[in-house]
Structure 1
Amino acid sequence: MSRFEGKTALVTGASSGMGAATAALLAEGGARVFCAQRGSSDHEDITADFADPTAPQAVMEQVKSLAGRLDILINNAGVMREGTVEESPEADWHLQIQVNLTAPFLLMRHAMTLLKVSGGAIVNVGSIEGLGNNPRHPAYGASKAGLHGLTRAVAVDHGPEGVRCNAVAPGWIDTPLNEDFIESMPDPNAFRAEIGGIHPIRRTGAPEEVAQLICWLASDDASFVTGQVWTIDGGRMAQLSLP
């Protein structure tokens, strides 16, 4: 039997990149997959804009109405705006905290009743910027560090009720957003080689590689794993810069 047979999953931000790859892998494993985002996916879509604080509850109400259960919650939707603390308008700060941190908090809150029944698993998509920071990303880094802390708190509070909660912290992954950024450079090929060179394995990551880790954490194969933040970055955070 497939490892997700009979299970219901919700993936946020699944129209492309890591979310799309995760949704596809869950479906291949036999899960019924709901995807919540502004765009569309290849699965059962629930239209949602997580900048709206009412969206998480509305999404969970639809999942409950349509499926009556939830076994797996993947909080993947995110947003990033650049600017130092001096440059960033408060609206950019509030947007990133809302989408990257508050929305997962609310989704977990509204999903918890169903997850306690199923003995479910949560995987939050954090970032290596929750461990260190790139320049001009104060709100993004703060939101991801907060999501890592929230992951541990949920694991501690709800482990006795049979719910596991973990996070992944991806590094540079070849998502459409990152590819668009590379193509905006004066010499995209040179920039791509430079980015690959900061990783010990000398390349950037694929969305499918992150999806494999997410799905392992969501599966019964990881039944004794909770409260952890799993770095998946090709060794980038382990490599010191040259003296």
Structure 2
Amino acid sequence: MKRFADKVALITGGRSGIGQAIAHRLRDEGAKVFTAQRAPDPDFPNFTADFSDPTTPAQVIEQVIADSGQLDVLINNAGMMQESSIEAISLEDWQRNLTVNLTAPFLLIQAALPHLRATQGSIVNIGSIEGLGANPGHAAYCASKAGLHGLTRAVAVDHGPEGIRCNAVAPGWIDTDLNQDFIDSMDDPQAFRRDIGKIHPVDRTGTPAEVAALVAFLVAEESGFITGQVYTVDGGRMAKLSLP
């Protein structure tokens, strides 16, 4: 029997990249999967959603319940990144980053809690190694992902007694279409690919499927004693010191 037979999962930002890999992994293991993002998703039942609008999260949860009557798994994956120095970023842009990356997951969790309580469900928030460290020009992104890691722990503590688990995954450099497009924009893409691989002890970058494998474990019954954790998936990048 498949691990997620008779389970209902919602993945935000499930149309591409890490979210898409998670959606396929959970469906392959038996779950009924919904995705929610700005653009229609040809592969899954989906909802068009603008997570910069604070009314959207509750509406999406309501739609899942109206369709399936239950929710067992919530994956908060949708997010954005805007490069800017601290001096240059406007308050409006700062707030939009925090709204999409942190407030929307909070509102999704808030709306989902009664339904996850009923199913003894599980939440996984997709954070980032930039919630643990920082790249230049990413103040809003780093702050929002660090906040998401903190929210993960708070939800685990507050709602663990109700049978709800909440964990986070902090990916490093993953070979999504967005990152591939970034590499292709470089003057020497081949050299950049080689160099970005070498900052990782495993000598390569990661794949969306590798992140999805961990997420699937974290929402499965065999991880029932795991909650409030942030799992780094970065090929050892954060463990590696720079040369003296």
With the length of structure 2 as denominator, give the TM-score of the two structures. 0.99
TM-superposed CA distance for 1:91, in Å, is 2.0
User: 2:62 & 2:92 partners in 1: Cα distance?
Assistant: 28
SS at 2:191's partner residue? Answer: helix
Q: State the distance in 2 between where 1:105 and 1:58 align.
A: 14
Residue 8, structure 1, aligned to residue 8, structure 2 = yes
Note the C-alpha offset of 1:88: 1.1
Matched residue type, 2:36: A
Partners of 1:167 and 1:40 in 2: CA distance = 26
Listed as ranges, the matches of 1:51-200 within 5 Å are 51-200=52-201
CA drift at 1:87: 1.4
SS at match of 2:106: helix
Once residues 177 and 88 of structure 2 are traced to their aligned partners in structure 1, the CA distance between those partners, rounded to angstroms, is 26
Q: 1-side partners of 2:40 and 2:239: how far apart? A: 36
| Aligned mates of 1:67, 1:181 — CA distance in 2 | 38
Instruction: Measure the CA separation in 2 of the matches of 1:95 and 1:198.
Output: 31
Deviation by residue 1:133-159 (Cα, 9 ceiling, x = unmatched): 000000000000000000000000000
Partner Cα separation in structure 1 for residue 134 and residue 219 of structure 2: 27
Q: 5+ residue gaps in structure 1?
A: none
Q: Deviations over 1:1-38 (max 9, x none)?
A: 10000000000001110000000000001000010001
Shift of 1:39: 1.5
**Ranges of 4+ aligned residues in structure 1 off by more than 4 Å:** none
Q: 1:160 and 1:14 mapped to 2: Cα distance?
A: 29
Q: Matches of 2:97 and 2:206 in 1, distance apart?
A: 24
DSSP-derived class of the 1:10 partner: strand
**Matched AA of 1:49:** D
Number of residue pairs matched by the alignment: 243
TM-score by length of 1: 0.99
1:40 CA drift (Å): 2.7
Tell me the C-alpha RMSD between the 2 structures. 0.6
- Hey, what's the Cα distance between the residues in 1 that align with 2:4 and 2:54? 30
Q: What is the CA–CA distance in structure 2 between the aligned matches of 1:201 and 1:145, rounded to whole Å?
A: 25
Amino acid in structure 1 at the alignment position of 2:57: P
Question: In the alignment, which residue of structure 2 is the partner of 1:38?
Answer: 38
SS in 2 for 1:227: coil
CA deviations on 1:82-125 (whole Å, 9 max, x unpaired) are 01111112222111100000000000000000000000000000
Q: Distance in 2 between matches of 1:176 and 1:84?
A: 25
**Identity, % of aligned pairs?**
62
